[in-house]
Structure 1
Amino acid sequence: MYKKLMLASLAITLNTNAMNSLESANNTLLNAPAHIKNIMNSAPATYNYTSKFSRSSSVSYTGQAFRQVLINDIKSYMTSLKRGGHDSVDTLTALNSYFAYNENTDAYIDEIINGDSIFKVKAKGLDGQALYIYEGDFYSDIQSPGKNLSSKIAGNDNPLRRKELKGWSSFKVGNIDLRKVNADNKGDSFAEPEDLVQAFFQTISNNAENGQAFSVKNGDLEIQRVSGAYITEDGLDLAQLVQKTFHGAVSYSQAAGDYLATTTSVTGGLNSGNTTPDKPGKAYTSMEHHFDEAFGYFGAARDYNSYTDVQIASKLSIDTNNDGEISVLSELNQGLSTNFSRMDLIAKNYGFEMDLSGNTMTAFIQGRQLITKAPADYKKYVVALANKALGNWEKTLAAVTIHYINSTISQMDAYGTKAYLFTNHAKFWSEMKGFALSFQFSPVSIMSDAQFDELHTLLADKPALHKNGLDTVVKYKSDLTKARELLNSIYAFPTTSSNW
């Protein structure tokens, strides 16, 4: 168990008034004085800024880009694992070599990664053709010594909003008891995000050693065989759950609860200094660097607004400097950033215009411009732009949760036909649940605690499968419909979201 940072003296102020944080931010920016608006409007088209102390770039978020690579790659590794034939200890060690990455880890088996391991992230140009990664092929090429996920997951680096993980009501994941994963837990105290992740790791490791391919009925049609160690007989896709948990408990949590925060630290986040170098010799101030780090967790290429939504959603890259390669640090759309445009496109296809991708990127660009220029009384508007970015980030999480509610219902409806696939049922449900856990990781969340609890009561901890009985399936479909309606009401989405 990794050491928890004690932040008991810092109080998190929770906004429980629905839409208040985003609406307040938009109103603040609308009523900003002319000199603030002029500087915002003079922001560059791309996320590029020159240092106040030299002629070099002041933008730096290498560690965040590195973590995006780890989040991508651990999912790829998990989906490669089959049931049986592996050593569970080795598999668990390999999984933790991503989670607690160390470039000097002893890679005594091929699955364990260190600085000399080849990363799995790929890049495609606008024509769909593969392009080389500019930084190289190995993890240490991106950053040395590199960063890890374990030290930055919510509960380890910043305090959980409600002191414990919410949204997973059962103490068990498969045969793993969450109370026994965390040695710090006493009695029936609940887990932290790391404990849930470790339970997922242990489950897939056990399946990789002792699991056997299992059969799933599809009505009167051919029985389906499932051999992936990351798929459970209860219908959990552990690879999706782990990746989406990291998107929320690492990326979103770090941006919202740390780097863009004003209530979790008197000197950190946007309360940090903006007149002197962050450290001797650095080209950026502390506030500039924190804003950059939040942008790194967003995951967008620096010229994100130059892309079409189709290009972003298709995970294509623009070779901005025409060197024939794509830089992980500036030209690759990673993490959740592709889902912003994806949901913009899906909503537009059903008559609802929203610009989650553009609103978020513009807020980051304008906020960084204000920090760089530092006009009179600028901080109030930087905070507003940060909350605008976070509000649109949260709305993206809500929109994509609805998308996977719909996908899960479609699989339930398809049971007994050729369109039904158990692995897709597990995948869609797990993406839905994993994304929905994210709402608890922001101190300025639009969703209230009561709404979060209601949502997860409806989503439950596993899908309703037809083997559990038709009545169970019918009831769960009704609950998913209510969950979608709840999200619509919180985020002002249209009833046509049932088609997303």
Structure 2
Amino acid sequence: MMQTIVRKETMKKASLILMFGALLVACGDDSESTNNANNGENNVSNNDSNNDTTTNNGTTTNNGTAGTNNPAVCNQPEASVYMFLNDDCQDTVAYTGQVGRQVLVKDLSSYILSLEAQVDGGNFFPEEGDVVGALDFYFRFDGDASAEEMIRMSADPELLQTTYGFMGGGKDLVSKLAGNDSSTDHKDWSTEFEGWEDATLAQYGGSIDTPEGMVQAIFAQVEKAAIDRANGTFALDPVTGAELPLHVTAEGWDLQQLVEKFLHSSLSFSQGADDYLDDDVEGKGLLASNDGPDGDSPYTPLAHQWDEGFGYFGAARNYIDYTDDEIAQTGYRDTNEDGKIDLLTEYNFGASTNAAKRDRGAAALGVTVDLTGDAWNAFRQGRALIASVEGPLTEAQLDELRGYRDQAVLTWEKAYMATVLHYINDTLSEISKFGSDDYNFVTYAKVWGEAKGFAFTPLYNRNSPLSEEDYAELHRLLGDRPVSPAADTAEIDAYQEGLRTARQILADTYDFDQALIGGDNGEDGW
């Protein structure tokens, strides 16, 4: 049975700092071990907690000793830390490549937003291929050639890792996108990719037929907008005629939001649900070997597969000790008080932050939702089970692990689909402002783009509770662009009614409380 872990109000921080400060992380990715010395990434952050506020996560404590070897010698971490030590007191958890890809997605998104200032400031006069090439720096990242390049993202206090070298070589985005790492894909995404039908998106390049084609199409749209802007041509608001930001098109596509959220669903979730945590391919995911370490690495292949799934979920090593506000608003904490934020252990990325935002949003409406706690419990308990077994898992143990996996993946999917519901409400809210002084086309494009990008998530979970028919209907109702503010009243009304139907599909499928759905215009909803 799964045990629930309480976020603790106090912990013995000094002793934990000493304990974790003495350990060495074995960093690796993609079933291979890497031991990079750059920027101190192999120094374990203190993953203890010093949380002085209470949250609503869980009701039962766990002593954290299950699945550990020789705890009296190695002083095993408590259950509020995602860390598992071997007999040599080495942390056996490693997912450097997953963190590296989280950073690449954030930096790609940031770069798109920076283009307007570069072009307007006269610092960049792009020609054909220049912008796509700049975006491919992140998408097709060359770790060997770009190890010394500075990371774009930042934190306060500053990041421990300052260059991309911390992630090692071979850690690009394109090779892990759904369809490109196809050995575990439950469908052929070169022929069965669904969710977008408007070929206009790909009119300047790319395609709408595959996940990679979608990313390339968005890149080509960004490049066209940058070249046009450099030559004095701007996309215009369809109602006011005002100039739009470089990353927003007259169709209502926020290209930055679309590509960022599409990568979260079609790369991070796809890799987690359809690869590292799946069990349909021998030797991969939950069917990987637990019979001894993987080469010179301190972990078994099974443990490493599970950890890589956790890395794509994006949680810090002591995620359960954060408040929802802390995850949603800041996202990181200098846990070991060394004056730096360690991306490998002290930073919350992607889905882990969406889970906290939805928990917080539900609490504001008087509804108890604990996506953060449900995800943590599943990931932490599943890893503890793996660590408790020497050698292959029995069928009963494997079934138990599948149960933890099912909860982890479903909670992850729910966090993203709750976010789709949230942004459908925001889209309805923006539509209600058409014709008023509060109308803002840029905001409208942003919130629709977030809903659409995340809505691809269920496609990559072969066990998704959303049926193929409802998936198709969800995307039909969202459309491939939001209804134009210049459309006639009947078309706008029909689109609004479709969004309300889409909300109900999500609520029914994922068992979201009706109190979270919201009013006709998205008010008082998630």
Q: Shorter-chain TM-score: which interval?
A: 0.7 to 0.9
Counterparts of 1:438 and 1:40 in 2: how far apart (Å)?
Answer: 32
Match of 1:294 among 286, 289, 309: 309
More off after superposition, 281-290 vs 205-214:
205-214
Partner of 1:101: 141
Structure 1 residue 272 corresponds to structure 2 residue 288: yes
Match of 1:62 among 72, 96, 104: 96
Please state how far the C-alpha of 1:217 moved relative to its aligned partner: 5.3
Counterparts of 2:505 and 2:169 in 1: how far apart (Å)?
Answer: 44
1:255-313: CA deviations, max 9, x gaps? 111101101x111111011121112x110000010011000001010000001111011
Residue 151 of structure 1 aligns with an amino acid whose one-letter code is S
1:64-118: CA deviations, max 9, x gaps? 000000000100011122378422311111111100100345xxxxxxxx32221
Partner of 2:358: 343
Structure 1 residue 119 corresponds to structure 2 residue 151: yes
Contact 1:231–1:237, Cα closer than 8 Å, also in 2: yes
Contact 2:67–2:387, Cα closer than 8 Å, also in 1: no
Structure 1 residue 170 corresponds to structure 2 residue 185: no
Partner of 1:330: 345
Counterparts of 2:235 and 2:141 in 1: how far apart (Å)?
Answer: 33
Q: Give the TM-score normalised by structure 2.
A: 0.78
C-alpha RMSD over aligned residues: 2.1
Aligned residues: 431
Match of 1:50 among 63, 79, 85: 85
SS of residue paired to 2:456: helix
Contact 2:196–2:480, Cα closer than 8 Å, also in 1: yes
Please state how far the C-alpha of 1:51 moved relative to its aligned partner: 2.4
1:144-166: CA deviations, max 9, x gaps? 22510111000010325364210
Change (3 A) 1:414 1:400: same
Contact 1:150–1:194, Cα closer than 8 Å, also in 2: yes
Partner of 1:213: 234
Counterparts of 1:45 and 1:227 in 2: how far apart (Å)?
Answer: 43
Please state how far the C-alpha of 1:192 moved relative to its aligned partner: 1.1
Partner of 1:466: 485
Residue 334 of structure 1 aligns with an amino acid whose one-letter code is F
Partner of 1:238: 255
Which one has more relative contact order, counting CA pairs under 8 Å at least 6 apart? 1
Contact 2:141–2:171, Cα closer than 8 Å, also in 1: yes
Residue 81 of structure 1 aligns with an amino acid whose one-letter code is L
Structure 1 residue 490 corresponds to structure 2 residue 509: yes
Show the 5 A alignment for 1:364-443. 364-374=379-389, 377-443=396-462
Please list every run of 5 or more consecutive structure 2 residues that lacks an aligned counterpart in the other structure: 1-63, 69-76, 519-524
SS of residue paired to 2:157: strand
1:383-413: CA deviations, max 9, x gaps? 1101100011111111100000011111111
Partner of 2:267: 250
Please state how far the C-alpha of 1:321 moved relative to its aligned partner: 1.3
Residue 134 of structure 2 aligns with an amino acid whose one-letter code is A
SS of residue paired to 1:224: coil
SS of residue paired to 2:176: coil
Partner of 2:46: none
Partner of 1:197: 215
Match of 2:243 among 221, 225, 228: 225
Counterparts of 2:488 and 2:129 in 1: how far apart (Å)?
Answer: 36
Residue 407 of structure 1 aligns with an amino acid whose one-letter code is D
Residue 180 of structure 2 aligns with an amino acid whose one-letter code is N
Contact 1:66–1:146, Cα closer than 8 Å, also in 2: no
Contact 2:507–2:513, Cα closer than 8 Å, also in 1: yes
**After TM superposition, which residue ranges in structure 1, 4 or more long, deviate above 4 angstroms?**
40-43
SS of residue paired to 1:206: helix
Partner of 2:106: 72
Contact 1:235–1:425, Cα closer than 8 Å, also in 2: yes
SS of residue paired to 1:317: coil
Residue 260 of structure 1 aligns with an amino acid whose one-letter code is L
More off after superposition, 209-218 vs 442-451:
209-218
Counterparts of 1:161 and 1:346 in 2: how far apart (Å)?
Answer: 34
Counterparts of 1:397 and 1:386 in 2: how far apart (Å)?
Answer: 17
Change (3 A) 1:38 1:101: closer
Partner of 1:132: 158
Counterparts of 2:367 and 2:384 in 1: how far apart (Å)?
Answer: 31
Q: Give the TM-score normalised by structure 1.
A: 0.82
Contact 1:86–1:208, Cα closer than 8 Å, also in 2: yes
Counterparts of 1:369 and 1:489 in 2: how far apart (Å)?
Answer: 33
Partner of 2:173: 149
Please state how far the C-alpha of 1:225 moved relative to its aligned partner: 2.2
Change (3 A) 1:244 1:329: same
Counterparts of 2:302 and 2:404 in 1: how far apart (Å)?
Answer: 14
